[in-house]
């Protein structure tokens, strides 16, 4: 008998099921963010993946939504923004770019 069938026959299934659904939901969202943060440029992976792992969980919901919007941008634009070659014109994107810069070793050099 499969482990899935055994689990469903457990007297604790009604208690476990909502927790599993919640954890799977978190896992799906985290997986989507992880793969969205993996880019075509290694340099961006080295910025975005540690940010996702260490900083993203503590962000306010509005900043998380800004991060989702950032992931829709082109790699070359993000690369230029993170290296301070230019800033995003969009105020919302500029805020999340500044948060990423402050938390990933990309601070302004004096």
CATH at 46? 1.10.150.250
39-86 pLDDT per residue, tens: 888 899 989 989 988 899 899 999 999 999 999 999 999 999 999 999
Residues 33 and 73 in one domain: no
4-27 pLDDT per residue, tens: 565 566 666 565 565 555 445 556
Q: Which two tokens stand for residue 82?
A: 């993170």
Q: 92 lies in which domain range?
A: 39-105
For residues 74 and 83, give the distance between their C-alpha atoms in angstroms, rounded to a whole number: 14
Confidence of residue 32 (pLDDT cuts 50, 70, 90): confident
Taking only Cα atoms into account, the Rg of the chain, rounded to an integer number of angstroms, comes to 19
**pLDDT at res. 79:** 95
Residues 15 and 48 in one domain: no
Residues 46 and 84 in one domain: yes
| pTM, to two decimals | 0.71
């Amino acid at each position: 008998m499969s482990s899935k069938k055994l689990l469903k026959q457990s007297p604790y299934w009604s208690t476990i099921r909502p927790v599993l659904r919640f954890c799977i939901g978190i896992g799906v969202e985290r997986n989507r963010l992880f793969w969205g943060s993996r880019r075509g440029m290694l340099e961006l992976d080295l910025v975005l993946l540690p940010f996702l792992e260490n900083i993203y969980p503590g962000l306010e919901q509005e900043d998380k939504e800004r991060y989702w919007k950032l992931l829709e941008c082109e790699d070359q634009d993000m690369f230029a923004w993170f290296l301070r070659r230019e800033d995003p014109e969009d105020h919302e994107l500029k805020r999340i770019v500044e948060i990423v810069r402050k938390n990933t070793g990309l601070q302004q050099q004096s």
